[in-house]
Amino acid sequence: MKILVVNSGSSSIKYRLYDMAEESLLAKGLVERIGIEGSLINHYPSGKDFLKKEIDIPDHRKGIELVIEALLDSRYGVIKSISEISAVGHRVVHGGEKYSGSVLLNEDVMNTLNEFIELAPLHNPPNILGIKVCQDLLPNIPQVGVFDTAFHQSIPEQAFLYGIPYGFYEKYRIRRYGFHGTSHKYVAQKAAEMLGKDLKELKIITCHLGNGSSITAVKEGKSIDTSLGFGTISGVIMGTRCGDIDPAIIPYLMEKENLSFKEINNILYKKSGFMGLSEGISSDMRDLEEEAIKGNKRAKRTLDVLYYGLKKYIGAYTAAMNGLDVLVFTAGIGENSPKLRRAVCEDLNFFGIRIDDKINYDQNGKKAIISTEDSKVTVLVIPTDEEFMIAHDTAEICNNFRPKAGH
Ligand code: AMP
């Protein structure tokens, strides 16, 4: 069964084609600068030369057409006919309160997706556009939606409600949704697999630390709390996002600096986090670590705020689950920064967390157990693979999907 995974953004389309029987990647690629000068497609077929094509790509339809062409190409292609693709799995950022799992994208679901545009105005519209173009160009192939929010729909009311008048939840569905759900679910499952344990018996904290970051408490295989919430800004500090702040700061700053709603939003989402705290050094962890080694105080204080924030979440979620068996680090920073992992795990022996620093530093972005033998909590590094998880969910849904007679 071959599954195409599509992640359609406002000016880009990421794609991967998997052979699920072998669990192997056949090709991956990226269409970039859609509707902008200099548009192109980079196509990487496994085991073959890669293709870079600079070509006018005015819209997403042309982008998907190029993806299909590349997959079928006599030199760079990996399939002979489009009918070899059994299904398409789409990343959809927001599934609101309606979707706690992946779904077949029929007409009813498509109508519902429009309702969530308000909740993710930057992400859901290009996701929906990508789905519509694929439905149009590949009409006989089932399409599945996999939501970033779905895994967190198991979070109980006590953790998803905010302390604002309840009417706002009823009227606008203002609550904690959480994001990166596909990644948290993937690494939690992998952790159980790696340890040869039943996921349902484990208390896990998954730290997805990348440009955007979130920490999730996974109890008995279910997300019970997560650090991102209604929007993608709460929790620990991120590349340019502020993480948890006292809401009182917002009206105060707006008044002091005479800021509009758009301006304050821009500061909190685009000028804060690593970038803001370091006074412009960078939004990229590698730059901050390099500067901190040189003794740069601005870089050092930024890292200290991040490490401290992570420790607090680990403590809070350990309390929320009444224990902790496994701590997982994933995504760009979690997978690649031994320095951060050491700083976060240091002085957590009260919780039974001890890491082997040699293994931690030798791990080099690959999956590994980095805790010591006598650590009560197993600490893991697991490279995330959201696309594979999307392909996996899509295959599972399509295996259960039987078109009605006449279709
Ligand atoms: P992601 O959003 O998952 O692609 O992660 C991006 C973040 O990972 C950026 O802040 C990068 O600086 C960080 N990152 C990538 N490689 C490394 C590395 N070797 N050491 C530290 N941070 C890294």
Residue ranges in the chain modelled with pLDDT below 70: 401-407
Task: State the distance from the centre of ligand 1 to the C-alpha of 264, rounded, in angstroms.
Answer: 27
Task: State the distance from the centre of ligand 1 to the C-alpha of 303, rounded, in angstroms.
Answer: 14
In b/e form, how buried is each residue of 134-143, taking b as 16+ CB within 10 angstroms?
bbeebeebbb
pLDDT value, residue 402: 53
Q: Which of 283, 333, 339, 382 to mutate to test the pocket of ligand 1 (most atoms within 8 A of CB)?
A: 333
Instruction: Pick the atom of ligand 1 nearest to 365's CA.
Output: 19
pLDDT value, residue 274: 98
Q: How far is CA 274 from CA 17, 69, 309, in A?
A: 35, 40, 13
Q: Which of 219, 186, 212, 213 is nearest to 326 (CA)?
A: 219
CA distance 338 to 365: 9
2-147 CATH choice from 3.30.460.90, 1.20.1440.230, 3.30.420.40, 3.40.50.300: 3.30.420.40
Task: Output DSSP code: residue 83.
Answer: G
pLDDT value, residue 182: 97
Choosing from 49, 136, 148, 244, the catalytic residue is: 148
pLDDT value, residue 292: 98
Tokens 């590994």 belong to: 368
The strand pair at 203-209 and 326-330 is best described as: parallel
> Using alpha carbons only, what angle is made at residue 216 by residues 212 and 217, rounded to the nearest 5 degrees?
170
The angle, 0 to 180 degrees and rounded to 10, between the axes of the packed helices 297-321 and 338-345 is 60
Q: How far is CA 81 from CA 50, 51, 69, 289, 407, in A?
A: 20, 19, 10, 48, 20
Q: What is the dihedral of CA 35, 38, 39, 42, to 10 degrees?
A: -160
pLDDT value, residue 184: 98
Q: Which of 107, 49, 104 is nearest to 73 (CA)?
A: 49
CA distance 315 to 111: 41
Tokens 């979620």 belong to: 317
198-386 CATH choice from 3.40.50.300, 3.30.565.10, 3.30.420.40, 3.30.70.20: 3.30.420.40
**Which pair of structure tokens corresponds to residue 268?**
């909190």
CA distance 246 to 106: 42
Residue ranges covered by each domain of the chain: 2-147, 198-386
Task: Output DSSP code: residue 349.
Answer: G
Give the distance from CA 223 to its chain's centroid. 14
CA distance 74 to 108: 38
Q: Are 379 and 355 in contact (CB under 8 A)?
A: yes
* 37-56 tens-digit pLDDT: 999 999 999 999 999 999 99
| Same fold: 2-147 with 198-386 | yes
pLDDT value, residue 401: 63
Task: State the distance from the centre of ligand 1 to the C-alpha of 336, rounded, in angstroms.
Answer: 7
Does residue 235 come out as left (phi exceeding 0), alpha (psi in the -120 to 50 range) or beta?
A: left
Residue 360, C-beta contacts closer than 8 angstroms, at least 6 positions apart: 338, 341, 342, 370
| pTM of structure | 0.95
- 8, exposed or middle or buried, with CB in 10 Å at 0-12, 13-18, 19+? buried
Q: Which of 285, 288, 382 to mutate to test the pocket of ligand 1 (most atoms within 8 A of CB)?
A: 285
Strand, helix or coil for residue 226: strand
Known catalytic residue at 148: yes
Strand, helix or coil for residue 116: coil
pLDDT value, residue 406: 37
**Which pair of structure tokens corresponds to residue 124?**
């859901």
Q: Which spans in 19-176 are helix H?
A: 60-72, 107-115, 124-137, 157-160, 166-172
Phi, psi of 8 (to 5 degrees): -100, 115
The pocket around ligand 1, CB under 6 angstroms, is made up of: 210-211, 239, 284-286, 289, 331-333, 336-337
Q: Which of 282, 285, 275, 383 is nearest to 337 (CA)?
A: 285
pLDDT value, residue 43: 98
CA distance 118 to 277: 30
